[in-house]
Copies of this chain bind each other. A is one copy, B any other.
Amino acid sequence: MPIAIEMSFAFRAQQPTDVLLQFEAAAIPEQQLSNTRTSLSDSPHIARIPAQDTIGERIWVRAEGRFEASYTATASIERVAGTLDELGAVPMRNLPGEAAPYLFDSRYCPADRFQSFIDAEFADRSGGALVATLHDWIAKNFTYTPGSSGPNTNALDSFVERRGVCRDYAHMLITFARAAGIPARFVSAYAPDVSPPDFHALAEVFLEDPAQPEGGAWYLVDATNMSKPDQVVKIGVGRDAADVSFLTSFGPTEFLEKHVSVRQE
């Protein structure tokens, strides 16, 4: 079942300002895109660069005055959604250079500080079974609370206050997974059934790939339970939300509006 995406946002820059955008569905094998259309306000300079891990693209624009971006696309997802419980961990010595950086602390995910907690509470599990348990712990203990977090809220804050929005849920799961020695990254995405409608955020963990005995693969995990992995349209990935914001401004801008619609057709 294809997924139809319609998205637009607008902001205002009083003076010429460099802005980095990332809002298009990524052209990667697991998602087939059609009818894509990106529309941007006039800008003296527009440049596209590959985004992190070459998943998706970022767009540099130079904005002045009101600036609008809009995007429509239809995506068909062909993603193998493994049952986490049955997947083993990739032995650390087999972690490739691509996955190892996702073990380290990042802006919103100070994983190192959670080693004691993880060791004390979850030492009896590993790999996908551990990730499933971490997912359930967050789902059980967190309350989805729009407005409760902000741009400075990290996983330590969320852990104490036990609430947040999708980005905070993703940060918590990523932090826990890394503390347990499992590479984990942040995924920005479109997904149906996200309420209120908006960009969505999930985690992705690196576990064994039954198809490659010595290798591994990334698996989506949504601690909010709002999306299903086979309906998630990935925009981009990163260490955490700092890497895949839909809008990063290098100067003062005023955000005006945003509309996101994602429907299963």
Listed in ascending order, the chain A residues whose CB lies under 8 Å from chain B are 18, 20, 45-47, 49-52, 54, 58, 60, 62, 91-97, 100-101, 103-107, 109-110, 112-114, 116-117, 120, 141, 143, 150-152, 156-157, 159-163, 181, 238-239, 242-243, 248, 250-251
Known: A107-B110, A239-B106. A97 touches B50 (CB 8 A): yes
Residues in B neighbouring A101, C-beta threshold 8 A: 52, 238, 243
Q: Is the CB of B160 within 8 A of A113?
A: yes
Residues in B neighbouring A62, C-beta threshold 8 A: 92-93
Of B50, B97, B120, B162, which is within 8 A of A162 by CB?
Answer: B120
A143 shortest CB reach to chain B, Å: 7
User: In the complex, which of the residues A93, A96, A243 has the most CB atoms of chain B within 10 Å of its own CB atom?
Assistant: A93
Q: Is the CB of A250 within 8 A of B92?
A: yes
Assembly stoichiometry (copies): 4
A44 shortest CB reach to chain B, Å: 9
Residues in B neighbouring A181, C-beta threshold 8 A: 18, 250-251
Residues in B neighbouring A93, C-beta threshold 8 A: 18, 45-47, 60, 62
* Chain A to chain B contacts (Cβ below 8 Å), 17 pairs: A18-B92, A20-B92, A49-B97, A50-B97, A52-B101, A54-B97, A58-B97, A60-B93, A62-B92, A92-B250, A104-B238, A104-B243, A106-B107, A113-B160, A114-B160, A150-B150, A181-B251
Residues in B neighbouring A141, C-beta threshold 8 A: 120
Known: A93-B45, A96-B49. A116 touches B242 (CB 8 A): no
Known: A47-B94, A60-B92. A106 touches B106 (CB 8 A): yes
CA gap between A105 and B163 in the complex, in Å: 20
CA gap between A251 and B123 in the complex, in Å: 11
A67 shortest CB reach to chain B, Å: 15
Given contacts A107-B109, A120-B141, 9 further A-B contacts (CB under 8 A): A49-B95, A60-B95, A62-B92, A104-B238, A113-B152, A117-B161, A117-B162, A152-B157, A159-B160
CA gap between A129 and B80 in the complex, in Å: 51
Q: Is the CB of B161 within 8 A of A242?
A: no
Residues in B neighbouring A95, C-beta threshold 8 A: 49, 60
Q: Is the CB of A100 within 8 A of B58?
A: yes
Q: Is the CB of B117 within 8 A of A160?
A: yes
